[in-house]
């Protein structure tokens, strides 16, 4: 195969025993950012025999007992700031997701010629199992878990890791070579990869997001495209053919491309035809996988997610029978069009993962009306104009919260009745009062949560509890 030499070189920088990362014993490594990814990086680096310096801008009190435990294990800590001088004499810097590439410590590392890896890169170098990587603006987490569920049906050990709250540095050493790793890869993580090499990768879509970090849509597109940086030959890149923004990747990859489409049959990949999901990833005949209405996750976007996951799982060795079983059994994830309660005949749906306008558009298309929408939070500034026709056609009323309320109210004035509330609980109660039996109260904020909540999960958990409390008050189902 044309990439044999490259694959031999790649193997030489990866551990094959599960004990750590080769080549790091005795090396001094600085870990920037000590959240989940940073903690996982420290553990893997210690297992690799490295000398570790950890740094975080948060003060000592933010780490409670962790700081003492790390120091007792030989980790040097700089808390309350990130002195650029830390990289003097360092052999490597490992950075957590979300740290801007222009961070002073990273700039100092580059100026001194010190390599910088994302935690994703570090985790990859400890991986023995093949990786299926999933990226895109929306749908990544559901699709990554779907891939994991489909591969688990093969009977092999599987871990779902990456940008799902379980760092690859934690997952990779635990999965043997005969297993699989399903890895969600964000644009932030992909900026810092070097040898990261999935055997299959999925790019779902590309809409404006995180532009405050990347600076432009083209830079964001390039960051996402790094997922196939090392892929070639028989590696499979799954692209959604219904997304024109992804077309440029076809000319940029050396991997074989598998297409996914809801609109047409494709030569290689997976598609929707006659109300069923079909796939053909090799030279054999097309295979019917499952009826679309047998999927337990709602919305046409989830049919696309299922097709993409199926194509990747088949490409990496799963049988059509295993894929069909996994698709039929998958029930979805919290905070993604999750039905959480029913009160007075009104269904409450938690879509707190909706943090941009594109996510809200998907939710409005996925659910039949009438809807009472709860939206708002910290504004990302994304264009709301494409939402107006759907709001006019499906949303009985909208209840707005948070910092974005004024802009959202102006955007949707005239399209539906607009109300405001000071808290999520007030908004939920107002939405129930505005709804009629048979309606759905939908939390799909199209905003970040940071003005009122710790993260989207905190927001969704709060909405779930509020909805169940309202159901109990009304004698409904929780």
Q: Give residue-wise pLDDT tens across range 2-28.
A: 344 444 444 445 554 556 999 999 999
Catalytic residue among 163, 205, 305, 350: 163
How large is the C-alpha radius of gyration of the chain? Answer: 23
Residue 380 appears among annotated catalytic residues: no
Model pLDDT, residue 98: 79
Say what percent of the chain tops pLDDT 90: 88
Which part of the chain has CATH 3.90.190.20?
338-473
Give the CATH number of domain 23-114; options: 3.20.20.150, 3.30.470.10, 3.50.50.60, 3.40.50.720.
Answer: 3.40.50.720
Contact in structure between 418 and 429 (CB atoms under 8 Å):
no
Domain 338-473, second-level architecture? Alpha-Beta Complex (3.90)
Contact in structure between 295 and 327 (CB atoms under 8 Å):
yes
Model pLDDT, residue 217: 87
Residue 305 appears among annotated catalytic residues: no
Model pLDDT, residue 12: 44
Q: Give residue-wise pLDDT tens across range 118-157.
A: 999 999 999 999 999 999 988 999 999 999 999 999 999 9
Which part of the chain has CATH 3.40.50.720?
23-114
Model pLDDT, residue 17: 53
CATH of the domain spanning 121-329: 3.40.1190.10
Q: How confident is the model at residue 355 (pLDDT cuts 50, 70, 90)?
A: very high
Asked whether the predicted pLDDT for residue 175 surpasses 70, the reply is yes
Which part of the chain has CATH 3.40.1190.10?
121-329
Q: Give residue-wise pLDDT tens across range 177-218.
A: 999 999 999 999 999 999 999 999 999 999 876 766 777 889
Q: Give residue-wise pLDDT tens across range 104-121.
A: 999 999 999 999 999 999
User: For helices 300-315 and 140-152, what crossing angle results, to 10°?
Assistant: 50
Asked whether the predicted pLDDT for residue 310 surpasses 50, the reply is yes
Average of per-residue pLDDT across 48-63: 96
Catalytic residue among 140, 214, 301, 419: 140
Catalytic residue among 36, 100, 210, 213: 210
pTM confidence score: 0.84
Residue 205 appears among annotated catalytic residues: no
């Amino acid at each position: 195969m044309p990439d044999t030499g490259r694959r031999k070189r790649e193997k030489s920088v990866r551990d094959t025993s599960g004990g750590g990362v080769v080549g790091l014993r005795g090396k001094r490594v600085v870990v920037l950012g000590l959240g989940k990814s940073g903690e996982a990086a420290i553990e893997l680096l210690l297992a690799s025999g490295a000398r570790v310096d950890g740094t975080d801008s948060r003060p000592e009190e933010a780490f409670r007992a962790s700081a003492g435990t790390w120091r007792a294990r030989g980790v040097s800590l700089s808390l309350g700031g990130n002195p650029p001088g830390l990289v003097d004499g360092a052999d490597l810097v490992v950075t957590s997701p979300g740290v801007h590439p222009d961070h002073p410590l990273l700039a100092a590392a580059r100026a001194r010629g010190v390599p910088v890896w994302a935690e994703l890169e570090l985790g990859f170098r400890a991986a023995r199992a093949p990786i299926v990587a999933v990226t895109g603006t929306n749908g990544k987490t559901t699709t990554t878990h779907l891939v994991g569920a489909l591969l688990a049906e093969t009977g092999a050990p599987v871990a779902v890791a990456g940008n799902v709250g379980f760092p690859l540095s934690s997952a990779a050493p635990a999965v043997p070579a005969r297993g699989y790793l399903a890895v969600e890869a964000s644009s932030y993580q992909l900026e810092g990869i070097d040898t990261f090499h999935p055997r299959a990768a999925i790019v779902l879509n590309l809409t404006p997001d995180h532009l405050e970090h990347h600076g432009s849509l083209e830079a964001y597109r390039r960051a996402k495209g790094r997922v196939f940086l090392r892929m070639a030959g028989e590696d499979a890149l799954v692209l959604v053919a219904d997304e024109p923004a992804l077309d440029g990747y076809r000319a940029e990859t050396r991997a074989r491309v598998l297409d996914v489409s809801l609109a047409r049959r494709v030569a290689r990949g997976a598609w929707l035809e006659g109300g069923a999901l079909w796939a053909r990833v090799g030279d054999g005949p097309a295979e019917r996988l499952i009826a679309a209405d047998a999927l337990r996750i709602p919305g046409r976007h989830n049919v696309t997610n299922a097709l993409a996951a199926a194509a990747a799982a088949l490409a990496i060795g799963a049988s059509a029978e295993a894929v069909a079983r996994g698709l039929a059994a998958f029930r979805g994830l919290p905070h993604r069009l999750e039905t959480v309660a029913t009160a007075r005949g009104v269904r409450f749906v938690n879509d707190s993962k909706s943090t941009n306008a594109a996510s809200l558009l998907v939710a409005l298309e996925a659910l039949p009306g009438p809807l009472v929408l709860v939206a708002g939070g910290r504004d990302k500034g994304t264009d709301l104009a494409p939402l107006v026709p759907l709001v006019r056609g499906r949303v009985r009323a909208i209840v707005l919260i948070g910092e974005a309320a004024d802009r959202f109210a102006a955007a949707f004035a005239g399209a539906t009745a607009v109300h405001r509330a000071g808290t999520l609980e007030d908004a939920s109660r107002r939405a129930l009062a505005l709804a009629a039996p048979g309606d759905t109260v939908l939390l799909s904020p199209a905003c970040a949560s940071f003005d009122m909540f710790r993260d989207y999960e905190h927001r969704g958990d709060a909405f779930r509890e509020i909805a169940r409390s309202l159901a109990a008050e009304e004698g409904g189902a929780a």
